């Protein structure tokens, strides 16, 4: 079964069970400081999991584009991906375990669905501990559908528990479903440690709230959140060892072969080929959501993906510009499902071509730096070595893969301290991961009064920027903590002190007028006709929320917000800087 068919069957299955299909949210989380990118289908639904009313109701389903950056350095093996699609469905205080487990079993085994024989499946449930009891309800539901007791593993919080995202908040047990990928027949007893049992779906039951003193209290609104990785499920159902072997990547590899002039590629794709396919697929989607290469945050990740793909291309002998040609294959393959790719195709190509040209200059500088390292070593020294530290600097600063440094060194009669390089690389990787865990762990965003006020301030800020700089200004990203707001917007030039003061004054004037902040639900067309500003044109569902702040601002937005502008305090811009090409960034606070 092809990925497109699995995606279609999943959405139709839940739509037929009274779920509203919602659109994939952008890859850039809106107003969530905990994540660089949308990492799961639940991410855009955080406010509704916390109790806000969703315009489309209490039963939802979608396919969500996701980016996960923790394993970028592992991409190249048959398993890891940077970009992937997550199939999901949600109950927001509606049905719970009985219905969801029934849905899961029916979708997995139904002839018109995935048609998996039940004897190929196994499941896990939460075993219980001193905090929360054994999930007997989930266990009994699986038994009622004929899953033998020997195929149900009871595991602890490490394996069968979700959340909270921070130290407190919503959390609960989950149940995971596994498919046997080894020789037939499948073992009668499920061993979760046997890697031939591969997880294909996860149902999370948010039924507790963890308090500051460590207690787990029942939630008033119990939610269901599920996730099924499309690429993984496709590979499993097709009996492929890797998702790179499925039709999902076939057009990308075909374009890569065409660029290289290869008529008969090897049966198994190389690490370099997989890196190029994954990274440029991810980069195309990120560019499609309005991010351009830069030095910090999402723009930096984007640049890293593109440049790593270019380096791998050079290993394969591709010395001419090629990234935009791969992007064309991605756009052709996914443009019908994600229309924003077609809408921004010209910009995607332009940005990739520009980045490729800039990187060529960087590589030239790196070659010059390499030569300086060589020239420092006296000619009479017999054993000439480039230190691991210097080799890693060539990689980190100039994008030189270690293989290229070793090859160039050998041509000059030098050796490279590979062990020293590996140690420096491992230390860098460890620090990156630790930073990601701290800054971008993802999950439930803060929804306090302070963040709601700052969220309202971003609407006033955007209205002021459009008045001072022009109507070309549009939001390109928003990151809010309880202490400050960070707002990225489209604008080429550095703002002058006079412009910044004008913007500040306009925002503070709106605050001093104590305007009411009114939320209305309406269809997208009505919202646009009413003059509401909308961003990310392809992300909206049939019904949306529109927040109006007097005569100053009217925007399509999910919330949350303050009730009046007078509650915000005094608005103060702390910094204005470049975020990426054509995008400026403002950091501001509300002084109370």
- Looking at the chain, the number of H-run helices and the number of E-run strands are 18, 18
Residues forming beta bridges with residue 385, ordered by sequence position: 415
Distances (CA, A) of 206 to 94, 95, 138, 203: 12, 12, 13, 10
Phi, psi of 304 (to 5 degrees): -60, -40
Q: Which of 541, 574, 571, 575 is nearest to 558 (CA)?
A: 541
Q: Which of 430, 448, 590 is nearest to 507 (CA)?
A: 590
Helix/strand/coil for 177: strand
Tokens of 248: 């999902």
Region of residue 435 (phi > 0: left; psi between -120 and 50: alpha; otherwise: beta): alpha
CA 383 from chain center: how many Å?
47
Q: State the Cα–Cα distance between residues 369 and 418, nearest whole angstrom.
A: 19
> What is the DSSP code string of 11-48?
HHHHHTTTPEE-PPPPSS-BS-TT-SS--STTGGGHHH
Residues recorded for the chain? 592
Tokens of 529: 């006709």
> What is the DSSP code string of 511-526?
HHTT-BEEEEEEEHHH
The CA-based dihedral angle spanning residues 306, 312, 315, 318, taken in that order and rounded to the nearest 10 degrees: -50
Helix/strand/coil for 392: helix
Whether 368 has a binding-site annotation, put simply, is no
Whether 132 has a binding-site annotation, put simply, is no
For residues 459 and 557, is the Cβ–Cβ distance under 8 A? yes
- In the 8-state DSSP scheme, what is residue 182? S
Distances (CA, A) of 450 to 121, 445, 455, 590: 47, 12, 9, 9
Annotated binding site: 455, 459, 557, 561
Task: Specify binding-site residues for Zn(2+).
Answer: 455, 459, 557, 561
């Amino acid at each position: 079964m092809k990925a497109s068919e699995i995606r279609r069957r999943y959405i139709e299955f839940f739509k037929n069970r009274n779920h509203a299909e919602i659109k994939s949210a952008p890859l850039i989380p809106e107003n969530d400081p905990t994540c660089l990118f949308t990492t799961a289908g639940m991410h855009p639904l955080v406010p509704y999991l916390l109790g806000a009313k969703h315009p489309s109701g209490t039963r939802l389903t979608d396919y969500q584009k996701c980016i996960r950056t923790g394993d970028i350095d592992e991409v190249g093996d048959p398993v890891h991906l940077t970009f992937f699609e997550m199939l999901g469905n949600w109950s927001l205080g509606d049905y719970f375990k009985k219905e969801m487990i029934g849905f899961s079993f029916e979708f997995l085994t139904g002839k018109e669905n995935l048609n998996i024989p039940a004897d190929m499946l196994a499941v896990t449930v939460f075993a219980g501990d001193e905090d929360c009891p054994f999930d007997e309800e989930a266990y009994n539901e699986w038994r009622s559908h004929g899953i033998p007791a020997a195929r149900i593993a009871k595991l602890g919080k490490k394996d069968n528990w979700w959340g909270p995202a921070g130290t407190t908040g919503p959390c609960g047990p989950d149940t995971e479903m596994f498919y046997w990928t080894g020789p037939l027949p499948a073992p009668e007893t499920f061993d979760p440690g046997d890697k031939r049992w591969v997880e294909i779906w996860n149902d999370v039951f948010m039924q507790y709230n963890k308090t500051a003193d460590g207690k787990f209290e029942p939630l008033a609104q119990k939610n269901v959140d599920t996730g099924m990785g499309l690429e993984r499920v496709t590979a499993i159902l097709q009996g492929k060892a890797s998702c790179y072997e499925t039709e999902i990547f076939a057009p990308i590899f075909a374009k890569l072969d065409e660029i290289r002039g290869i008529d008969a590629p090897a049966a198994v794709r190389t690490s370099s080929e997989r890196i190029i396919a994954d990274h440029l697929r991810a980069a195309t989607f990120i560019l499609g959501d309005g991010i351009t290469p830069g030095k910090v945050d999402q723009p930096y990740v984007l640049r890293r993906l593109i440049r790593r793909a270019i380096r791998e291309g050079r290993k394969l002998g591709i010395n001419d510009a090629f990234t935009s040609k791969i992007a064309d294959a991605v756009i052709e393959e996914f443009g019908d499902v994600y229309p924003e790719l077609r809408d921004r195709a010209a910009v995607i190509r332009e940005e990739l071509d520009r980045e490729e040209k800039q990187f060529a200059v960087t590589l030239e500088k790196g070659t010059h730096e390499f030569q300086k390292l060589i020239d420092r070593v006296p000619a009479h020294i017999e054993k000439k070595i480039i230190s691991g530290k210097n080799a890693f600097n060539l990689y980190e600063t100039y994008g030189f893969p270690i293989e290229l440094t070793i090859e160039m060194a050998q041509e000059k009669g030098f050796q490279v301290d590979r062990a020293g390089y590996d140690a420096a690389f491992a230390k860098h990787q460890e620090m990156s991961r630790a930073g990601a865990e701290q800054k971008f762990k993802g999950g439930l965003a803060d929804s306090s009064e302070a963040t709601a006020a700052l969220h309202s301030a971003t609407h006033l800020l955007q209205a002021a920027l459009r008045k001072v700089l022009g109507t070309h200004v549009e939001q390109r990203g928003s990151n809010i903590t309880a202490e400050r707001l960070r707002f990225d917007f489209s604008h080429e030039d550095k703002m002058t002190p006079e412009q910044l003061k004008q913007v500040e004054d306009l925002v503070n004037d709106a605050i001093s007028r104590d305007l009411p902040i009114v939320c209305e639900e309406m269809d997208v067309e009505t919202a646009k006709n009413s003059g509401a500003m909308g961003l990310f044109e392809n992300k909206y569902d049939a019904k949306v929320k529109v927040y109006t702040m007097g005569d100053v601002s009217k925007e399509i937005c999910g919330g949350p917000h303050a009730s009046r502008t007078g509650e915000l305090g005094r608005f103060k811009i702390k910094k204005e800087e470049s975020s990426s090409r054509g995008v400026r960034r403002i950091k501001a606070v509300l002084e109370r």
